[in-house]
Structures are given as C-alpha cells and as structure tokens.
Amino acid sequence: MSQSLILWAVGAWFTVFLLLGQNVSTVLLGAGVVGVSLWIGPRVFDGIIGPDIFYTASIYSLSIIPLYLVMAQLLLRGGVIVDLFRVAHRLSGYKRFPLGVATILTGGLLGAVCGSGSASAAALATLAGPELERVGYSRRFAIGLAAVSGSLSAVIPPSLIVIIYGSITMVPIGHLFIGLIGPGLVCMAVYIVCIRFLAEVKPGAVDGVQIEEQPDPALFRRSVHAFVFVVVLMTVVFGGIYGGIITVAEAGAIGAFTALIGMVAMRRVTLKDIALSMGDSVKVTAMLMMLVIGAQIMARFLAFSRLPRELVALLDPILDQPMLLIAMMMGLFFLAGMILESAAVIVLLVPMLLPLLQAAQIDLLWFGVMASFMISLGLLTPPVGLSVYAASSATRFPVSEVFRPATLFAVAAGVIVTAAMMLFPGLVTWLPSHIQ
C-alpha cells in the first residue's frame, strides 16, 4: 500500500470513528495502531507498541495528576463550593455588580482546588444563579455567569491540561503552573469588566436587595473557617512551588494530605466520602492516561510518516514570522476546543505541532500557557461547551439561551488576554523566571 493511501486510510479511520461517537482515546489508539501496522508491518507490535505504552504509563510527571485530583475531590465533597460562595455573597453586600464580581472570584478560587470546570459550573449555577437573579440579573445571564466562573478551573492552576502538556513537551510543570497565574488574573479582570458592560438586568430590578433571612452566625463562621483553610492551602502549595521549597509532585502530595486532614478535622467528610473521592480520582486518571497513551501511539505513526516534517517544510516561509504562526495556531486550538474535550485537544495537536514550534524557536512555556487558555474558552462556546451544558443541566434551563452571554465573555477574553500575552510575553514568563 502506498504511503499516501496509508495516510488517507488513517485519516478516514480517525474521522469516521470520531463522528460515530467513540472515545477520543480509543480513536487515537486505533488509528495509531492501524497506521503503524500498515507503515511498518505486524512486527511493530513486539518492538514498538508495547514499549511505547509502558514508557508513557511510567512518565513521572503524570503521577502528579491523581494527587491534585484527590485534593480537589476531597474539598468538593467537603462542601467547599458552598462555603466559598457563602463568604463571597456576604462580602458583596448583596448588591448586583459586587455579587457578580464575587461569583467570578469564587470561580477563581474553585479553579485552584477543582480540576473540573463542569462540576464548578454546575455547583455555581445552583448556588449563585438564584442569588444573581434576586439582585436583578436575568436568568440566562445569571446561569451564563456561573458557567463562565466555573470555566476558570482550566485557566487557574493546577490545571490538568497543563500537566498533560508538560508531560508531552518536557516543560517543567511548576513553571507552567506559575506562568498561568498572570493570564488567569487578567482573564478574571476581563470577565469582571464584561459584567459591567454586558450584564442583562431585568426591567424594574432594584439593586441592593437584602435577603429576607439572615444566615446562621455559626454556619457563617464555619464557612469562614473553610474559606481560610482553602486560601492557606493554596498559598502553601503554590508558594512552595514558587519559592523552590517543594516540587510540583510534593506540592500535590502535601495538598492532598492536608485536604484530607483538614476535611476530617472539620468533620466535612466521612469514610464513604473519602472512598468515593479516591474512586473518582482513579477513574479520571485512567481516562487521562488512556488519552496520553493513545496520543503517544498516534505520535509514533506521525513520526514514521514524516508528516510533522512535511508540515514544517510547508510552513517554512512563515517560520521567520512567529507572531503570525502563533496567531494561526491559537485559532486552531480555539476551534478544536469548541468540538473536543480539552485534554483531547492537547494530546492530539501538541505532538503534531511540536516540531514546528521547535523549528520556529518558540518558547514552549509561553506557547503552552496560551494554548491552554485558548482551549479553556471551548468550555463556553458551542457546540460542545461543557461548562455551559453543566450549568444549564443543573438549573434545567435551555442551553441555547445560556450560550449567548457565555460566548460573548469567551470572545472578549480570547481577544484581550491572548493579545496581552502575545504583546507582553512577560505576563507569562516573568514569574516562572524567578522560581528558585
């Protein structure tokens, strides 16, 4: 079989099974195995496929994933989302714009403890949605704002897609985490400005409506304790990484252990909750590992086919214009994030584009943060905006209505934050350059 025919066959395999609804990890693995087998022959199963799978599964950086997942699951099952919003709600003074800002800030804090944008969006839609409506926002805007706030989990470290990117490109994950802080804060600032100018307020709504029943002081103190615990935990974890005191893996282990001790000490979790947290972490880790293994086999086929090198040769005329090349890639990541799950986008595109990035001498740390940010916007845009679907499902509100405000936020953040990172690379690279 000719090489061109093999490429068409693998492309058809990938497209057909993806359209049929198969898991991306299965499609990648199947297409990679078929491609390598046709290109090299059956002997490849003994000499390449097995060692590739073993090597990928034993990558040290991937061991970080279950640690942060356990930390996130324990905090979520301990009811931290409710506590964070309860404190933010009180600090906002029950006024319209401050409450919208408090929702964004709550989403940012959740991003530091929760690896799931959809889980954060669903919880915030249930908790914050009714309160946002009470102060005058329209129902679709309130739910859309909850989805936007929940999506910050992909931008605020620790981000699972950044861990996967670091394991593929060998960029230090601690540097990627710290590099996300600047763009994450700018993104939150953009969302806050969007609340001011894009808010949909119900006609005749009165601002500053006090809630009828005052919260139980004991319950509020309990929430404050949980809020302080989360802030201290995140400060220790990321402060330790930035100060060079602990590695990223050690930070994940400390975070998971501290979350366990803290939630047990505050009587927030039971043995059943701990078991469920461990089980959920294992499930998500296994899913991500399958994605990475499938991508590794697919990358092996791409290496044999020399497709990345041909791509470099094709784009050679613009390699000396890195900004144009970056703009094209960001558009590609944005479009891919609209139709695929975020981790799948990373494992599918990064191995293919890595030779191109190296040929153009593009900083992989800077590029990884920008790519992760663009992919995160896919959580808010149709047709597969997972955060929007989660928020809509939690509140039983039509998803088509929620996509309108969420997409406006995503477009504004995409244009402004990406432009800021491209014009001022130090926004990403300055903090990591000072890690001890």
Taking residues 402-427, what's their average pLDDT? 90
185 CB-contact burial (10 Å; exposed 0-12 / middle 13-18 / buried 19+): middle
Nearest to 349 by CA among 333, 327, 372: 333
Lowest mean pLDDT among 81-85, 141-145, 409-413: 81-85
Same domain? For 174 and 210 the reply is: yes
Higher-confidence residue of 294 and 176: namely: 176
Same domain? For 405 and 333 the reply is: yes
Classify residue 88: in a domain, yes or no: yes
Q: Give the model confidence (pLDDT) of 197-222 as tens digits.
A: 888 888 776 666 555 455 667 777 88
Q: Looking at the predicted structure, is the pLDDT value of residue 57 above 50?
A: yes
Classify residue 300: in a domain, yes or no: no
Classify residue 284: in a domain, yes or no: yes
Cβ-contact 75, 263 below 8 angstroms:
yes
Same domain? For 144 and 44 the reply is: no
- Give residue 212's pLDDT: 47
Classify residue 398: in a domain, yes or no: yes
Same domain? For 141 and 208 the reply is: yes
Residue 279: both structure tokens together: 């089980």
- Give residue 46's pLDDT: 62
CA distance 109 to 426: 24
The model carries a pTM of 0.82
Lowest mean pLDDT among 109-118, 226-235, 325-334, 379-388: 109-118
Nearest to 72 by CA among 199, 183, 160, 163: 160
Same domain? For 125 and 244 the reply is: yes
Q: Would you place residue 45 in the very low, low, confident or very high pLDDT band (cuts 50, 70, 90)?
A: low
Q: Would you place residue 49 in the very low, low, confident or very high pLDDT band (cuts 50, 70, 90)?
A: low
Give how many domains the chain has, as a whole number.
2
The helix (H) or strand (E) run that includes residue 39 is helix 24-40
Q: Would you place residue 186 in the very low, low, confident or very high pLDDT band (cuts 50, 70, 90)?
A: very high
Q: Looking at the predicted structure, is the pLDDT value of residue 289 above 90?
A: no
Same domain? For 64 and 53 the reply is: no
In the predicted model, what is the mean pLDDT of the chain?
Answer: 82
- Give residue 20's pLDDT: 81
Which of these three, 58, 89, 106, is where a domain ends?
58
Same domain? For 183 and 131 the reply is: yes
Containing domain of residue 53, as a range?
A: 1-58
Q: Would you place residue 193 in the very low, low, confident or very high pLDDT band (cuts 50, 70, 90)?
A: very high
Which of these three, 36, 58, 80, is where a domain ends?
58
Same domain? For 346 and 424 the reply is: yes
Residue 204, phi-psi category: left (phi > 0), alpha (psi -120 to 50), beta (remainder) = left
- Give residue 412's pLDDT: 92
Q: Looking at the predicted structure, is the pLDDT value of residue 41 above 80?
A: no
CA distance 206 to 202: 9
Q: Looking at the predicted structure, is the pLDDT value of residue 34 above 70?
A: yes
Q: Enumerate the β-bridge partners of residue 201.
A: 137
- Give residue 131's pLDDT: 81
Residues 6 or more apart whose CB falls under 8 angstroms from that of 206 comprise 136
71 residue type, one letter: M
262 residue type, one letter: G
Same domain? For 157 and 77 the reply is: yes
Classify residue 298: in a domain, yes or no: no
Classify residue 299: in a domain, yes or no: no
Same domain? For 22 and 133 the reply is: no
Taking residues 323-328, what's their average pLDDT? 86
Q: Looking at the predicted structure, is the pLDDT value of residue 120 above 80?
A: no
Higher-confidence residue of 419 and 343: namely: 419
Q: Would you place residue 336 in the very low, low, confident or very high pLDDT band (cuts 50, 70, 90)?
A: confident
- Give residue 161's pLDDT: 83
Which of these three, 19, 40, 58, is where a domain ends?
58
Same domain? For 217 and 152 the reply is: yes
Q: Give the model confidence (pLDDT) of 67-84 as tens digits.
A: 888 888 888 788 787 787
Nearest to 279 by CA among 66, 104, 98, 49: 66
Residues 6 or more apart whose CB falls under 8 angstroms from that of 347 comprise 28, 164, 168, 291, 292, 294, 295
- Give residue 436's pLDDT: 62
Residues 6 or more apart whose CB falls under 8 angstroms from that of 149 comprise 103, 104, 106, 107, 108, 110, 120, 121, 124, 128, 191
- Give residue 205's pLDDT: 67
Helix axes 173-198, 217-242, angle to 10 degrees: 130
Classify residue 368: in a domain, yes or no: yes
Rg of the chain (C-alpha set): 22
Classify residue 8: in a domain, yes or no: yes
- Give residue 2's pLDDT: 75
Same domain? For 126 and 3 the reply is: no
Which of helix, strand or coil describes residue 137? Answer: strand
Q: Give the model confidence (pLDDT) of 143-181 as tens digits.
A: 999 888 888 877 888 778 888 888 888 888 888 888 888
